[in-house]
A = this chain, B = another copy of it.
Amino acid sequence: MILHEDSRSGNCFKIRLTAAHLGIPLEFRNYDVMKGETRTTEFLAQVNGNGRIPVLQDGDLFLPESNAACFYLADGSDLIPAARFGRADMLRWMFWEQYNHEPNIATLRFWVAFVGEDKLTSLQRQLLSAKREAGEAALALMERHLAERDWLVGDAISLADIALYAYTHVAAGGGFALSQYPAVSLWLDRVAGHPRHVPMNTDTPLAARHQQV
């Protein structure tokens, strides 16, 4: 199987991490989202008409949407709870991730650590405070949930943990202080401590500059 990706993207990392847990080998095709390489005519026609990565390719089948690709890899494995409610509850956290977490926490990271605050449009700049507030609310919801349990769903790691780990563990890149969320921080260590864990490529174009600031 081939993963069409930008290795600095948390959405792409979810799929790498799922594959690592399952011992599934992947090939990689790299695209630089900063250079618009996922919006070319060729990419739109052959890989994803929505102009986005990641896309998981299995033979002549193409599967966009990170959480759907994780589900495809993990279908039938113990990364998906066997009980009916647990399975749906796992998907609940994955839908929540795409609606309430990613558009705030991942977008702020992209704007701050990749685009640069001085290069944002006026509208993006006006959205900063609303996205920061919504991102903090998302982390606070996770904190309350994880204060009482080790994993998001049931008593073992599942795709919900993998999906939410991806952008939570690099939230500092968007200016979020994870030290304010002790239960989330312990959970991040728990995910990263799994024997099958692999690290994400956390290079960001503006990292050097931000370290100087």
- What residues make up the interface of A, taking CB atoms closer than 8 Å to B? 49-50, 58, 61, 63-69, 71-72, 75-76, 84-85, 87-89, 91-92, 94-96, 98-100, 102-103, 123, 126-127, 130, 141, 144-145
Contact = CB atoms under 8 A, between A and B. Distances in A.
Contacts of A75: 84, 87-88
B50 A68 contact: no
A96 B66 CA distance: 10
Query: How many identical chains are in the complex?
Result: 2
Contacts of A141: 49-50
Nearest to A90: B68
Majority-rule SS of A interface residues: helix
A65 B96 contact: yes
Contact of A95 (B49, B65, B76): B65
A64 B89 CA distance: 8
B99 A99 contact: yes
Max chain B C-beta neighbours (<10 A), residue from A49, A61, A91, A127: A91
A88 B72 contact: yes
- Which are the 8 A-B pairs with shortest beta-carbon distances? A72-B88, A68-B92, A65-B95, A68-B91, A65-B92, A98-B99, A68-B88, A71-B88
A197 to B, nearest CB: 23
Given A49-B144, A50-B96, A85 B63 contact: yes
Contact of A64 (B64, B85, B96, B130): B96
A64 B50 contact: no
Contacts of A61: 85
Max chain B C-beta neighbours (<10 A), residue from A63, A98, A127: A98
Contact of A85 (B58, B96, B103, B123): B58
A103 B103 contact: yes
